[in-house]
Amino acid sequence: MNARDNVRVDGARLWGSLMALAQVGATEKGGVRRLALTDLDREGRDLVCGWFREAGLAVTVDRIGNIFARRPGRDADAAPVMAGSHIDTQPSGGRFDGNYGVLAALEVVRTLNDRGITTQCPVEVAIWTNEEGTRFQPVMMGSGAFAGVFDLVDMLKRTDLDGKSVGSELKRIGYAGAAECGNHPVGAYFEAHIEQGPVLEDTGNQVGVVTGVMGLRWYQVTVSGQDSHAGPTPMHLRRDALVSTARIIDGVNRIATGHAPDGRATVGFLQVKPNSINVVPGEVRFSIDMRHAGTAGLDAMESEWRALCAEVADATRTSAEIADISRFEPTRFDEALVSSVRAATQQLGYRHMDIVSGAGHDAVYLARLAPTAMIFVPCEGGISHNEIENARPEDLEAGCNVLLHAMLARAGAD
Ligand code: HGY
Ligand code: MN
Ligand code: MN
């Protein structure tokens, strides 16, 4: 037992910071709407960077707006032990998704400062740009560019539905940083996050030791038929893009259900043209979010629904064009780092279990660069990507204590 083992974070301070950040983009139902690269994202970034500087951290921003806040270690040349997440949210998002991982990492730094602990390696807190992928695709854009999975120039050109580009929005909000994106040493990466599912709460566990992340494939489907008058056009002569889409959506749902429990598919975005009450729709664009714990499962689901699209298009005299917009294969985290999370959790005495994440996280791309591990805490009813998202202060504090001790073990401390 050494002196460090008794160190604990300040749960009230963590909760206070979470609630203060949640005010930026607060919604009536108690959630947060802080879309990537909006004025609210800038306001959130400014607030958290102010806290970073108050904690004595040196802040740098890279060309895609990723933020790094560095606390020196004894060995300035050692690769930093990094922890972080994202502060952009879903349109009807919650107070904890992403925000918790950034502020838990800040709370670790604040605790090290309070206790005058010097680490061997530097410690860095990271805020990744556009993790949610809702305003601009692909998902996990900033961490993906940092890891070299996405081409930076291509990412800066990506536009939202209003035609605004990532590059122009970064400039407009003042976060088009000077630091090169990537080529930034990372000794190890930790990410604390709410589970965003019901398993920890259902099983009475306070901490999830995350062993890996499900694979994800996002597609955009454009179904084309023919606009025609809703009155004079007989049913058998129509080329109705929305009827065709409805059959595809139902089929996608059946395919994922057939691959349960690890197969998942969601259609969350849909645009109908011309979207008029008395016109047979000639064009529909919709998204498909497909996930599975194994590549074979993803491949099977993908080939089944591509066949389904062709069959339905043929039967309804429409056409279906499929664009691949995001994908990452199932990820397993570094065994040794995962074990350090489990050991910290056991030392702290928290009920815990191993768990695979159904949600994607920036940690997926950091895992390509350095040993990476995640720490989950329960969220109420397993609900997330919803304004009612909630978590208990004591669980958030527990996860943050695990983060503190796993980082200390990795960073080396006096
Ligand atoms: O979609 C995801 O899994 C993450 O929340 N962006
Ligand atoms: Mn998240
Ligand atoms: Mn999310």
pLDDT tens column, 358-371: 999 999 999 999 99
**Domain with residues 215-328, CATH architecture:** 2-Layer Sandwich (3.30)
Percent of the chain with pLDDT over 90: 98
Residue 176 Cβ contacting ligand 1 at under 6 Å: no
Residues 6+ away with beta carbon under 8 Å from 383: 389, 390
- What is the band of 4 on the pLDDT scale with cuts at 50, 70, 90? confident
Coil/strand/helix, residue 215: strand
Which one is the CATH code of 3-213+330-411: 3.30.2350.10, 3.40.30.10, 3.30.70.2170, 3.40.630.10?
A: 3.40.630.10
C-alpha 401: how far from chain center: 22
pLDDT, residue 3, reads 63
193 pLDDT more than 70: yes
Q: In angstroms, what is the span from residue 17 Cα to ligand 2's centroid?
A: 17
Q: In angstroms, what is the span from residue 361 Cα to ligand 3's centroid?
A: 8
C-alpha 254: how far from chain center: 26
- What is the band of 2 on the pLDDT scale with cuts at 50, 70, 90? low
Residue ranges of domains in the chain: 3-213+330-411, 215-328
pLDDT, residue 5, reads 84
- Which of 131, 193, 217 should be mutated for ligand 1, with most atoms under 8 A from CB? 131
Q: Which ligand is nearest to the CA of 385?
A: 3
CB contact burial 11-35 (16+ within 10 A = b; e otherwise): bebbbebbeebbebbbbeeebbbbb
State the closest ligand 1 atom to the C-alpha of 289, by its place in the atom list counted from 1.
1
Residues 6+ away with beta carbon under 8 Å from 274: 227, 281, 282
1 pLDDT more than 60: no
Q: Which residue's alpha carbon is at the smallest distance from atom 6 of ligand 1? A: 132
Element (H, E) at 387: none
Structure token pair of residue 162: 């209003």
Contact (CB, 8 A) for 60 and 101: no
State the closest ligand 1 atom to the C-alpha of 291, by its place in the atom list counted from 1.
3
373 pLDDT more than 80: yes
Contact (CB, 8 A) for 280 and 233: yes
Residue type, 125: V
pLDDT in tens, 111-146: 999 999 999 999 999 999 999 999 999 999 999 999
Q: In angstroms, what is the span from residue 89 Cα to ligand 3's centroid?
A: 7
Q: Mean pLDDT throughout 159-167?
A: 98
Average pLDDT of the residues of the chain:
97
Residue 132 Cβ contacting ligand 1 at under 6 Å: yes
Q: Mean pLDDT throughout 208-237?
A: 97
State the closest ligand 1 atom to the C-alpha of 360, by its place in the atom list counted from 1.
3
Q: Which ligand is nearest to the CA of 287?
A: 1
State the closest ligand 1 atom to the C-alpha of 134, by its place in the atom list counted from 1.
6
329 pLDDT more than 90: yes
Is the pTM higher than 0.85? The answer reads yes
Contact (CB, 8 A) for 105 and 127: no
Residue 36 Cβ contacting ligand 1 at under 6 Å: no
Tell me the chain's radius of gyration from C-alpha atoms: 23
| Residues around ligand 2, an ion, CB closer than 5 A | 97-98
State the closest ligand 1 atom to the C-alpha of 358, by its place in the atom list counted from 1.
3
Q: Mean pLDDT throughout 311-317?
A: 96
- Residue 100: how many other CB atoms lie within 10 Å: 27
Structure token pair of residue 331: 């990820």
